[in-house]
Structure 1
Amino acid sequence: MKKDIQIPEVEGVHVAVVNEYNDIYKTQDWNAYIINDKDVDLEVVLIVTSGYSDKKMTSIFRKKLDALPKKSYAKIELMQEELFALNNEFRVTFFVGNTMYEKTYLFRKNTINEKALQTIPLMTVKGVLVK
């Protein structure tokens, strides 16, 4: 039964952690985003995030987006810099039509930093990207 369930490979959907200026609080913040670089809309996007190491584990954060239009992005959460010493995992599930897709994006510990910044697709900022 389980072996009959096929979940296709995810392409064109990314998670990025971006360092950007917060106009309200006048601070530099790190924010996680989901990016839909596909030519189709994503429906019922579920994101489950957590951070962990051998000795620590964060609480689990869940976010639901009813839709993520094609060639767009949405903020997932604000990330405190203390979390970068942990592995940060983003489990993403979504539908395109009647087909379910699922992928886990992992930022390994200490890989989110200013030295790792790169251009992020669809955004006019730099950040750390996991494809």
Structure 2
Amino acid sequence: MIKDLPENNVTDIAVAVALEGENVQSKIFHVYLINQKNEPIENVLITSKGYGEKDGEQVKTSTLRHMFPQVDARAFKQVELIDEQTFGLANEYWVSYYIGNQIYDKKFIFLPESIVDANFIRLPIVNKPGVMIG
């Protein structure tokens, strides 16, 4: 039965963590969904959670859910604020969306310690410094 499902490959969709600003005590980061397609995506559902080991103990964050009716072509949506303290965990974003009547989904995982200045690029469309998984 599973072999009968269409293989809808996710392309030109990315999740990014962008540096918004900083002060003496901390940096402010937001997570963005970036649609690099030349067509809009609809009924976008994103679940986010963090998990891993911190100070020798297993840690899990709350699971958050976000919904956007539409993300326009070559546009982005701000998903959530992300705390620097979670950068030592795996941060998972599961994105599902429709194009027409076809559903697409993909899991994007920022591995522990991957959100660091050395990995920053200029994010497409968002035009801010950050780390992107596409």
Match in the other structure for 2:95: 92
Question: In the alignment, residue 33 of structure 2 is paired with which amino acid?
Answer: I
Residue pair 1:117, 1:127 contacting (<8 A) in 2 also: yes
Match in the other structure for 1:35: 34
Gaps of 5+ in 2: none
Alignment of 1:106-117 (within 5 A): 106-117=109-120
- Cα offset for 1:7? 3.6
Larger mean CA deviation between 53-62 and 1-10 belongs to 1-10
Match in the other structure for 1:118: 121
Residue pair 1:7, 1:102 contacting (<8 A) in 2 also: no
CA distance in 1, matches of 2:105, 2:68: 15
Residue pair 1:17, 1:112 contacting (<8 A) in 2 also: yes
Which SS does the other structure have where 2:98 is aligned? Answer: strand
Alignment of 1:1-131 (within 5 A): 1-21=1-21, 28-54=27-53, 55-131=58-134
| TM-score when normalising by structure 1 | 0.92
Which SS does the other structure have where 1:39 is aligned? Answer: coil
Moved over 6 A (4+): none
| TM-score when normalising by structure 2 | 0.90
- Cα offset for 1:119? 1.3
CA distance in 2, matches of 1:103, 1:68: 16
Gaps of 5+ in 1: none
Pairwise CA RMSD of aligned residues? 1.3
CA distance in 2, matches of 1:120, 1:49: 20
Identity of aligned residues (%): 30
| CA deviation vs aligned residue, 1:14-70 (integer Å, no higher than 9, x gap) | 000000128xxxx74110000000011000000001100141111101000000000
CA distance in 2, matches of 1:37, 1:46: 17
CA distance in 1, matches of 2:30, 2:121: 15
